[in-house]
Amino acid sequence: MPIMQGADLHGMQSGGLLSAHRSPWRLTALIAVSLLVVCAGGMVQLGAGSYDMSWRQAWEALVDPHLWEHPSRILRLLVGEGMADRLGCERCDTLPTSTLIVWTVRMPRVLVAILVGINLAYSGSILQAVTRNEMADPYLLGVSSGSGLAIAVVFMFLPGLGVHLPLLAMVGGLTAFAVVYAIAWSRGTSPVRLVLAGVIVGAIARSVETAMHYLAQDSSALRDATAWTSGSLIGARWEHVLMVLPWTSVSVIVALCGARYLDILLLGDATAKSLGMSIERVRFLLAATAVLSAASAVAAAGMIGFVGLIVPHMVRGLVGSPHRGLLLGCLVAGPALLIGADAASRLILNPLQLPVGLVTGAIGGAFFLILMRRKRDFGRL
C-alpha cells in the first residue's frame, strides 16, 4: 500500500517508560531528590526524641546485629507480645535501649509516614483524574466526613471502643463514600455529580459533628477528637504499619495498572466510552481504590491535609499529566513530603511536637500561593 511507505516508523523503536519526547531525567531527578529527603528525614526521626541519640547511634541501632541475626526477634517486634509468645519468638529483653526505642517507636513512625504519604498522594492523583478536577483531594468523596463523624461518636459516646478507633474511622469513611456514590448515581454518574454529592455529605456530616462537639460535656474528649482530625504521626506503632501496608499495596498496584485508564478518563466520558471503556465500572473501581487508600491513611494517622492535593500537583508540574510518570513520581514524592513535614513538626518547637497535619497545611498554603502568583493558566487540567 503506497500510504504506508511514507509512514515515519522511527517511533517504533521508542517505547520506554515514558513516551519519547518526555525526557525521563526530570522523573529521575525527582525520584533521586525525594529519596534523599526520605533518608534524611528518616534519620532525623530515628535520632530525635526524648531519648537523645546521635545519628551514628541511631544508625547502629537500626542495623543492630542482635536483631538482624535473630529474625524471630524482629518478628516479635512486628506482631506484638501476645502473638509472638504464641509463635514462640525469641525474647527481646536483652536488647540495648537505643535499639528498642528505634525499633519499637521511631521506625514505625517513619514507615507509617512513608505508607500514608503514598496513600494520600495516590488517592489524590486518582481522584483528580476521576473527577477531572485538579483541586480534588483524597477527602473529596466523603472520607473525611465519615471518618470524622465516626471519630466524634467514639470519643463522645463510646469511649469503650477507643481501641478499635482506626478500624471504625476507616469504616466511617467507606460508608460515607458509599452514600456519596448512591446520591450521585442516577443511571450513571458524572464527575460533577460526584463532587456535588461529596459536598452534600460533607456539609451534613460536619454539622452533626460540630453539634456533637458543642454538646460534649467532656473537654478532654474534644481535644482527643481534634488531635485526630488534624492528623498526626505521634504514637504510630507497628500495628499501624501492618494495618496500612495491605491497602498501600493494593492502591499502588491498581493505580499503576490503571494508569492508562486514568489517562483516558481525562479525555472526557464520551471519548472514553467511544474508545470502548466501561466507564462507570472503571470510575467506580478507581474511586473505591482511592477512597480505601485514603480511609486507611486516616485510620493510621488521622486527617493529614494537603499532601494528597499538592503532591500530584508538584509531580504533574515536573513530569506532565500522563499517569505512568505521575504515579511513579508520587510513589516517592508523597513519602518525601510527609517525612519532611514530620521532621519539621518535631524540630520547629523542639522539644514540643506539633501534629504533622498543621505543618502540611502550612506547606500546602504556601505552595498554592506561590503557584497562583507564578502561573497564569493555573487551575486548568
Partner 1 sequence: MIQKRLHANRVLGGVDLTVRYRPERPPVLDGQTIDVPIGRVTMLIGPNGSGKSTLLKTLSRQIAAERGVVILDGRDIATLSAREVALSLGILFQENQAPHDLTVEELVCHGRYPHRRLFDPLTAEDRFAVEQALTLCGAGPLRDRPISQISSGQKQLAWIAMLLAQSPHYLFLDEPTTYLDLPHQFDVMNLVRHLNRELGCTIVITMHDLNLAARFGDHIVALHQGRIVAAGAPEEVLTTATLRTVFDIESRLFRDEQTGSLHCVPINRIPAAGGRPR
Angle, vertex CA 26, rays to CA 21 and CA 28, nearest 5:
110
Cα-based distances in Å from 186 to 127, 177, 181, 329:
20, 16, 10, 36
CB of 320 to partner 1, least distance (A): 5
Cα distance between residue 276 and residue 120, in whole Å: 30
Q: How far is the CB of 227 from partner 1 (least distance, A)?
A: 39
Residue owning grid cell 514462640: 88
> Which residue matches cell numbers 461518636?
153
Verify binding: residue 65, partner 1, rule CB under 8 A: no
In angstroms, give the least distance from the CB of 278 to partner 1: 5
41, 45, 48, 52: CA torsion to nearest 10: -120
Asked whether position 260 contacts partner 1 by CB under 8 A, the answer is: yes
Q: Site map for partner 1, 304-343, x if CB under 8 A?
A: ----------------xxx---------------------
Nine cell digits for residue 70: 535473630
Residue 21 or 373 having the CB closest to partner 1: 21
Smaller CB separation from partner 1, 66 or 375: 375
Contact letters for partner 1, residues 262-291 (x by CB under 8 A): -xx-xxx-xx-xxxxxxx------------
Closest among 109, 107, 93, 111 to 63, alpha carbons compared: 107
Q: Is the CB of 60 or the CB of 263 nearer to partner 1? A: 263
Interface region with partner 1, contact rule CB under 8 A, candidates 19-27, 234-242, 300-308, 359-367: 19-27
Q: Which stretch binds partner 1 (CB under 8 A): 10-18, 153-161, 212-220, 340-348?
A: 10-18
| Burial class of residue 150, CB neighbours in 10 A (0-12, 13-18, 19+) | buried
By the rule CB under 8 A, 376 interacts with partner 1: no
Listed residue (229, 65, 30, 49) closest to 139, CA to CA = 229
Supply angle C-alpha 268, 272, 276, rounded to 5: 170
Site residues for partner 1, 218-257, by CB under 8 A, read: 257
Report, in Å, the least distance between residue 282 CB and partner 1.
10
Cβ 132 to partner 1, closest distance in Å?
8
